[in-house]
Amino acid sequence: MRRRGIFVTGTDTNVGKTVVSAALFHRYRRQASLCYWKPVQTGIEQDDDTATVRALGACAEREIFDRGVRLPRPVSPHLAARWAGERIAIAALRALWEEAPSDVGWIVEGAGGVLVPLNETELMVDLMRALQLPILIVARSTLGTINHTLLTVEAVRRRSLHVAGVVMVGPPDRENRRAIEAYGDVAVLGEMPVFEPLTVEALRAWAEEALDPHGRLREFWA
């Protein structure tokens, strides 16, 4: 069954995917019934992205699907699984996906970037292909982001996946934004600051005012 929603990926680890995922609740909760899923989480002993989204997104229990692979050690999923004596399989994640509610709009967050290995043969992008959701790319705004973002866009499109847009994180950089939009033929849907401090109120205020102001993502919840 084809689901509604988007898959949030990044150009790197710790780029801001989780905070953007939480911000999407504040931006679109009043327009659609949303639910968040983190299929693969490593370093669970020190980072729990599901708990972070629950808190920053002010999420109700029905808005969180807390099932999936949860592994210790903050390393690549394939390595964390090997060290734990396990193996991550896309087929098993797809089975969980089939058990999840079908009457909601999904915010699915990946682990790391597009080409992160899940096991000896499968990458994160293979999970994206299995779920068949449009891709929202979270990228840094600073030096190097043009190359990293365009490589991510290219990797996604080579697998015949739709790029829904890009969210840039960090100090606004007009030239980097223009380059990503022009060379990547993709829309930048927001420029999210690094919040200090990061609070629900600050994230909500930014999301309601500056995240996807033209409502380009609305079609993916409908």
- Type and span of the H or E element at 146: helix 145-158
| C-alpha pair distances (Å), 113 with each of 32, 153, 222 | 27, 11, 27
- Rounded CA-CA distance 6/8 in Å is 6
Using alpha carbons, select from 13, 157, 7, 156 the residue that is nearest to residue 79.
13
What are the beta bridge partners of residue 107? Answer: 6, 36
- Residue whose pair of structure tokens reads 């994206």 in the numeric block: 128
For residue 197, cis peptide bond before it (omega within 30 degrees of 0): yes
Using alpha carbons, select from 3, 9, 4 the residue that is nearest to residue 21.
9
Selecting among 3, 17, 29, 38, the annotated active-site residue is 38
Amino acid at 172: P
Is residue 38 part of the annotated active site? The answer reads yes
Active site residues: 38
